């Protein structure tokens, strides 16, 4: 999200959510939360974006087919990830079988 107005609205909404949760202690919270940004472009473009963001976060990228940089603040994390074209192709091939096998009773 590079639009300055969109970025400001997003971060303000995060603050509003935190303030609301602080004020309403009866609302359950998850054990952790992650903000995940998927890099766009070719494999090389995605990896370059992960490298760039890792430097901004002060972290070192990890992984191969799922190349990522992550920073955490307690149970809250921000992660940018590059998923290789080959890995996405494998995933899409696997998902193409979805719905091919169903139980005899027809239950999902």
Residue 101, pLDDT score? 76
- The number of C-alpha atoms within 13 Å of 74 and in the hemisphere containing its C-beta is 2
- Across-strand partners of 33? 76
pLDDT per residue, tens digit, the chain (108 aa), is: 578 789 999 999 999 999 999 999 999 999 999 999 999 999 999 999 999 999 999 999 999 889 999 999 999 999 999 999 999 899 899 888 887 877 777 666
Residue 1, pLDDT score? 53
Residue 106, pLDDT score? 63
Phi-psi sector, 93: left (phi>0), alpha (psi -120 to 50), beta: alpha
Residue 19 located in a structural domain: no
Residue 14 located in a structural domain: no
Residue 40 located in a structural domain: yes
Structural tokens at position 79 = 């992660």
58: containing domain = 32-85
Q: What is the largest CA-CA distance in the chain?
A: 53
* Distance from the Cα of residue 11 to its chain's centroid: 16
């Amino acid at each position: 999200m590079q639009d300055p107005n969109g970025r400001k609205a997003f971060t303000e909404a995060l603050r509003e959510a935190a303030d609301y949760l602080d004020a309403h202690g009866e609302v359950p919270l998850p054990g952790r939360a992650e903000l995940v940004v998927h890099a766009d472009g070719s494999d090389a473009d995605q990896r370059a974006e992960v490298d760039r963001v890792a430097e901004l976060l002060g972290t070192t990228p990890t992984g191969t087919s799922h190349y990522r940089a992550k920073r955490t603040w307690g149970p809250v994390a921000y992660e940018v990830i590059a998923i290789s074209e080959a890995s996405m192709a494998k995933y899409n091939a696997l998902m193409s079988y979805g719905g091919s096998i169903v139980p005899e009773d027809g239950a999902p």
